[in-house]
Amino acid sequence: MSKCGQCIMKRFNALKTLTHEELERFSEHKTSLLIKKGENLMTEGNSINGLYCIRDGKCKLTKLNTNGKEQIIKFIKGGDILGHRSILSDEPVGLNATALEDMHVCFIPKGDILDSIRDNPQFSLNLIRNISLQLSQANTSISQMAQKPVKDRLAETLLNLEDIFGIDNEGCIDVVLTREEIANTIGTATESAIRLLSNLKKDGVIDLIGKKIKIINKNMLKNLSEGY
List contacts with DNA (CB under 7 A): 149-151, 178-180, 187-192, 194-195, 197-198, 208, 210-211
Q: How far is the CB of 124 from a copy of itself (least distance, A)?
A: 7
CA distance 110 to 180: 35
Query: In the bound complex, what is the minimum distance in angstroms from residue 45's beta carbon to DNA?
Result: 24
CB of 33 to DNA, least distance (A): 22
In the chain, where does DSSP find H-type helix? 20-29, 84-89, 110-119, 121-147, 150-165, 179-186, 190-202, 218-225
* Residues 17, 13: Cα–Cα separation, whole Å: 9
Exposure of 59 by Cβ count < 10 A (0-12 exposed, 13-18 middle, 19+ buried)? buried
To 5 degrees, how large is the angle CA 208–CA 99–CA 171? 30
Residue 87 or residue 155: which is nearer to DNA going by CB? 155
Residues 6 or more apart whose Cβ sits within 8 Å of residue 102: 34, 35, 36, 37, 57
Question: Which residue, 163 or 210, has its beta carbon nearer to DNA?
Answer: 210
Does 128 contact a copy of itself by CB under 8 A? yes
Q: What is the nearest approach in angstroms of DNA to the Cβ of residue 62?
A: 15
Among 5, 79, 94, 109, binds a copy of itself (CB under 8 A): 94
Closest to a copy of itself by CB, 140 vs 199, is 140
Min dist CB 72 to a copy of itself, Å, is 9
- Inter-residue contact 114 to 58 (CB < 8 Å): no
Q: Which is nearer to DNA, 45 or 149 (CB)?
A: 149
Give how far Cα 117 sits from Cα of 50, 106, 111, 113, 114, Å.
Answer: 13, 18, 10, 6, 5
Per CB under 8 A, 110 contacts a copy of itself: no
- Told to check if 95 binds a copy of itself by CB under 8 A, we report yes
Report in angstroms how near the CB of residue 38 gets to a copy of itself at its nearest. Answer: 21
| Residues at the interface with a copy of itself (CB under 8 A) | 63, 65-67, 69, 71, 73, 85, 88-91, 94-95, 118, 121, 124-125, 128-129, 131-136, 138-148, 152, 186-187, 225-227
